[in-house]
Amino acid sequence: MNLSREIRLAARPQGQPTAADFALATVEVPGEIADGQILVRNTWMSVDPYMRGRMDDVPSYIPPFRLGAPLEGSAVGEVVASNVPDVPVGATVSHFLGWREYAVLDAAAATVVDTSVAPADAYLGPLGATGLTAYAALTRTAPVREGDVVFISAAAGAVGSVAGQIARELGASRVIGSAGGPAKTKKLLDTFGYDAAIDYRAGGLPEQLAQAAPDGVDVYLDSVGGDHLQAAIGAIRPGGRIALVGAVSTYNSPTPPPGPDNLFQAAKQEATLRGMLVTSHLDLFPEWIGRAVPLLADGRLRTEQTVVDGVERAPEAFLGVLRGANTGKMLVRIP
């Protein structure tokens, strides 16, 4: 009889989550599965900033995690039992039942991925929802046009590290990224191809942005909110576009933080601020995969990972994402 370890939500955090908000549990893996189902041994799982919102019992675009139940999130793994002819044993699939070593799910909720063109873990990063987020944000939500100046926050993270390179492929004339600390800003320039890198921890974000983009910016991809959104609005050019993808700087605030106080600047510039949920753009997945696979293969799309080993360390990895401990995609490898 196989056993599976899983991470459950033990308590709803007040402000910054801690390790005490999670619990490690061991359950039996079912010996039989129903028709139409598959049993997957997870090998990789993702931790992402949006999961912080699901820890709170408040209405949102996705249901909150249930107390005492295993958490959920993107994962890839190997099918070890199947009652579906189209998803054979041995196939690699992506699905949404992460935070556990084994998952039983309907085959319709899984996607078979091609590990001959990219490793399995890539389907949680550049070929997964994070890569799609960057692509959809810069092609639909705040489309980049030839010659645009583009500013991207959290630029060394999972979405940002890909987004800067997508902006260049779409014809941006200058790509500026913001990250925390000299090591990350150096990575933006040396690895991810940014033209300028802002260290927000050094202070003076509006002044640094003005120096990097003296004539302003046309497109801003916002994953941070707060002071970054305010600085971007202050620098936006006429007809500028802002994609509101995330606001990680506000996720742990016990009370709603004040919003930007310069929104009328966006009105004067006839700028567009548009929210973006990746789940509204899943139809773009084939298009993005078709573009991304050759970019990865020939090295034009560079990616990095921060890897933590063992499902028991998934909370540690998640807490690390919230404080910016990762470069590129934060993943948990499950032996």
Residue 63 DSSP class: P
pLDDT of residue 74: 98
Rounded CA gap, 167 and 148, in Å?
9
Q: How far apart are CA 306 and CA 259, in angstroms?
A: 31
The neighbour count for residue 106, using CB atoms within 10 Å, is 14
pLDDT tens per residue, range 159-197: 999 999 999 999 999 999 999 999 999 999 999 999 999
What is the pLDDT at residue 1? Answer: 64
Packing angle of the helix pair 226-235, 205-212 (nearest 10 deg): 40
User: What tens-digit pLDDT sequence spans the chain (335 residues)?
Assistant: 699 999 999 999 999 999 999 999 999 999 999 999 999 999 999 999 999 999 999 999 999 999 999 999 999 999 999 999 999 999 999 999 999 999 999 999 999 999 999 999 999 999 999 999 999 999 999 999 999 999 999 999 999 999 999 999 999 999 999 999 999 999 999 999 999 999 999 999 999 999 999 999 999 999 999 999 999 999 999 999 999 999 999 998 877 777 899 999 999 999 999 999 999 999 999 999 999 999 999 999 999 999 999 999 999 999 999 999 999 999 999 99
Of 175, 214, 165, the residue nearest 197 (C-alpha) = 175
Give me the residues paired with residue 26 across strands.
5
* DSSP strands (E only) in 180-280: 196-199, 217-222, 236-244, 272-275
- C-alpha pair distances (Å), 186 with each of 178, 179, 258: 11, 10, 31
Quick one: pLDDT at residue 255? 79
Backbone angles phi, psi at 307, to 5 degrees: -115, 135
The pLDDT, as a whole number, for residue 62 is 93
Q: Are 275 and 136 in contact (CB under 8 A)?
A: no
